[in-house]
Amino acid sequence: MDYFIELFCSGLTRGAIYALIALGYTMVYGIIGLINFAHGEIYMIGAFTSFIVATVLSIYGFPLAAIVVVTGISAAIWSSAYGYTVEKIAYKPLRNAPRLTPLISAIGMSILLQNYVLLAQTSDFLPFPELIPEFAFMEPVAHIIGSSDLVILVTTAISMLLLTLFIKFTRLGKAMRATAQDKTMALLVGINVDRVISATFIVGSLLAAIGGLLIASHIGQINFAIGFIAGIKAFTAAVLGGIGSIPGAVLGSLILGLTESFATGYVSSDYEDVFAFSLLVLILILKPAGLLGRAGTGKV
């Protein structure tokens, strides 16, 4: 039974990380209908920036609390900056191009960013400094759920809450919803669509950066290629939940996280990624609208 709960908890943790990335996919898709292939790389850059900043600070002997705060802020700043720039360079000029054009551009961006980090840093796996201490109060359940799992779950929950409040109540959030509904109408009622799109990329990147920081400190190592697989899995989660739908992305992520956790725990860990990919292929073929997505008759 303990094993089951342990798998369940690690599944939730995985799901939480996927959710942080999946939200970026789903929000961008909701607004400009593009699979932002480079989003996984933004997450990787978040993790890498965290790694660099945290290691530098720890080498220079800063206290843990300061390291955590500065690392978090830097990861957020640089990830959003990258997300913003990627949109400006690779997608904005292609706003009215045929559908596959920005997708190919996005794939190019993804390869470019991966190799940029590879060349500027290293291809090796790097040990990530320990940012999350083992909490004393977690001692009794430590064999089932670790402190970092708890931190991940709590941080993710807070992020989701803030995101929901942002989208529901702020001006910009409302503008985002309007733009997702109907871009032309949004333009007509005076919404600056370009700015809304930029904001969407920034918010998505911010969440991905949080995910990058959390996963790096959870697993304890990073390299330049972590974004690719994580990106595809998060995309799977977004599609599973119904791409374009924010609650859908969270639901899909949790389902994917749990499925993976149980499948690797009870079946075989060799095929960890195969489960996710198979799930992706199956959903897209059987129910492309996802669990919470809107199915519509295509306009002719």
Partner 1 sequence: MAVPVPERFKRAAMVTMISIKDVKRSLLVSLWFVFLSFPIMVIQVNPVERTVVWRWSNMLYMGIASLLLSFLVRIWLLRQERRLAQKQLSSSPQPSILHLLLKQQKFRYPLIIGGSVIVLAFPLIFSSYQANIMTTALMYIVLGLGLNIVVGLAGLLDLGYVAFYAVGAYSYALFNLHFDLGFWPALPLGGLLAALFGVLLGFPVLRLRGDYLAIVTLGFGEIIRLILENWNAFSKGPSGISNIPRPGFFGVEMSLDQAMTFMYYLMLVLLAGTIFVVNRLQDSRLGRAWVALREDETACQAMGIDKAQTKLIAFALGAFWAGLIGVIFAAKTTFVNPASFTFMESAIILSIVVLGGMGSITGIIFGALILILLPEYLRPLSEYRMLAFGAILVAMMIFKPEGLIAGSRRVYRFQAQKIQPMLKNNE
Piece in contact with partner 1 (CB under 8 A), picked from 4-12, 114-122, 188-196, 203-211: 114-122
**Contact at 8 Å (CB) between 7 and 261?**
yes
**Contact at 8 Å (CB) between 30 and 180?**
yes
DSSP letters spanning 235-247: HHHHHHH-TT-HH
Please, what is the minimum distance in Å from the beta carbon of residue 274 to partner 1? 5
Nearest Cα residue to 253 out of 104, 128, 112, 153: 153
Of 93, 95, 162, 194, the one binding partner 1 by CB under 8 A: 93
Quick note: the x/- pattern for partner 1 over 35-54, rule CB under 8 A, is x---------x--xx-xxx-
Question: Could you say whether residue 278 binds partner 1 (CB under 8 A)?
Answer: yes
Residue 285 CA to residue 228 CA, distance in Å, equals 22
Of 31, 32, 76, 109, the one binding partner 1 by CB under 8 A: 109
**Beta-sheet strands, E only, within 88-154:** 126-127
Place of tokens 């959710």: 19
How many residues touch partner 1 (CB under 8 A)?
65
Torsion over CA: 279, 282, 285, 288 (sign): negative
- Which residues 236-275 are close enough to bind partner 1 by CB under 8 A? 236, 239, 270-271, 273-274
188 Cβ partners below 8 Å, 6+ apart? none
Binding site for partner 1 (CB under 8 A): 34-35, 45, 48-49, 51-53, 55-56, 59-60, 74, 78, 81-82, 85, 89-90, 93-94, 97, 99-105, 107-121, 126-127, 129, 228, 232, 235-236, 239, 270-271, 273-274, 277-278, 280-281, 284-285, 288, 298, 300
